[in-house]
Structure 1
Amino acid sequence: MEKLKNKCIRYISKKVFFLFEKVAKRYVTIILRPKYAVSVSPLLNFSNEENKTAILLQGPFFTVDNFTIETIKLYKKLFPTTQVIVSTWKEESPLLLQIAEKEGAIVVQSEKPKNRGPRNINMQIVSTYEGLKIAKKNDADYVIKSRTDQRFYSTEIFPFLSTLTKTFPYIGKFHKQKERIVLCSHETLKYRLYGATDQFQFGNIDDLLFYWGASLDERLPGVGNTDITVRDYAKSKLAETYLESNYLERIGRQLNWTIKDSWNAYAEHFIVVDKRTIDLYWPKYDHYREDRLTSYQASTTDYLTFKDWFLLYNNFPNSCPENILDLPFSSEIPEAHVR
């Protein structure tokens, strides 16, 4: 039956995308991911991972296709010795909480903050920090911080990520940081100053607790807009930038609010892995497009990839395009600005 379904998919997609490529003058590729844990088989385990690990899913349950519950089942299947922690709200459905616990998850419930903050940042801080505290209490050494509405399919992810932090050890002068924090390229923007993604992170439990131990943003929801320059958007310290800039300042780093300094911070404190490496899936927005923000025209919202990070780590490039900061946020970059 599965072979027949795959054959039908190949036939239909070939016909549809052949026509699309002719009309749009674009190449099209697709990725098929299983919706349900029962359709995924663990691959050969060749790791010697000895650290105690945890996966933190933060946020409200995403119920389309039973997504969050199926994600819990998938992680318990792929990583049977890893804690799966769901940090959500006290108003969540008791039935969903019961099912999550039955599938092996540890459920943490918190009161929502009275002020959600710009871009719901306070909601993220509260639920993430409370989940990390449980991971620490349960003796986790390393944690993946993710979301209830996202899923990664990559196997052997813990030995891979922990090996990265050993291959590129943190050797900075700011002793409040123990090891590098690994970020996903998804929502880690190249030109958004100090804008590390807040969606997928991996790190030493103490580093993540410190990162997410930021004070709540006292500003009201609705503060900030994107109809400004890249520089002004960054200095408004919204969401991701609020978190990273707060973290860097609390460990003792002085910020210059330049592309050069932002890139240096990535090179010195973080590692960036590509979204495809961890096989991250987010069933929201324009989710039918696998890399919906990938463009072959330079943009102020381009992602920072592993390739980019590796070059920064090795002190490339020699000069930084600081003039990009004066362009409108979320706009194409003229060729003159990147030469």
Structure 2
Amino acid sequence: MTSPMTKPIPLVLPEIDLVANAKTTRKTFERLASFSHLTCNEDSPLLAKTLAKIHGLVKLVDTSMVAAHLGYRLATSAMILCDSEEQEWEADVSLENLKELVAQGVSMSNEVVVGFRDVQQEIYKIAASTKDSNLLVVVPPDATHADEIKMQLKGVGTGLVANMKLLSDFSRIANETAEWWSAIDNELQTHAPQLLPVPEAPNATDAPSPEDAEKFAEWSKMKDSYQDYYNQVNVIHVSFPELLGPSITAWKAVATAQSLPSSEANSLVDLGEHFQKEEPSLKKGKRKTISRFFSSKPRGKEDVQSKKRKNQEIEHPECSCSCHGIKPTS
């Protein structure tokens, strides 16, 4: 029998690298976006069918970015629950609010997983159906290329096949993200979630416990990682506003994008280069991950000044949805 004083096994969430995920999301969207505007001078059921499939994938990428904004809101709301000076946030957050956010995150992330589950098969179907088509189509100018591009429809299919690895990478990170949301959901359903402060006992003091301060710091790091994610995907928000309405609206309601270095912000390359060869694997490097959040490794307590600054960066917005939203000041 377990002793009442026995500590629970420390929670370790599945690993997701939000910056790497954002870059893969950007590249995936860039490959699909231009072809979503294909036109030709004649009615073509084959072109219409091809466009429908491409539009479906574009919508799923947009949905993944909406789900990520829920992660930002979750982290910010959880910071409030972990802060002993809760009144300074001018917000009202409860465990039920967090559960509602997580339920939406689970639903949206699973939608993306299902939509991209058979992406290889769908791309091969496009390639097979268009391989004999000499229909001349036009790719209008956009952020990836300055001039109008004319090509045969069969080139669209072969181009998508050439980028199969990138599309598969996006499918993989969609699965990893769904697993992360599921782990958060399962933890919040427990009697005493390790992600949040322990309920106050009678006669408890107002002084924050070291454990609560540590949880506040971890949620703060998670929020910062989601901010980094937004900084990356905002590049395509700016370039393709007509295709990304839901995620643009969702993110603008809660955060302000920060500028990227020019070397990262100007990563869009010519469309022709996109489809000449398969996307290389992402280079490995030192990145922020949130896999170690709430692990057994002890972490330092944030100093008071630092926490005050974080509090001052966030205000409560007017949010039309049922879940609580947090918006940093610009």
TM-score bracket for this pair, using the shorter chain length: under 0.3
Give the number of the structure whose alpha-carbon radius of gyration is greater.
2
TM-score of the superposition, structure 2-length normalised?
Answer: 0.26
**TM value normalised by structure 1:** 0.25
Q: Point out the structure with the larger strand share.
A: 1
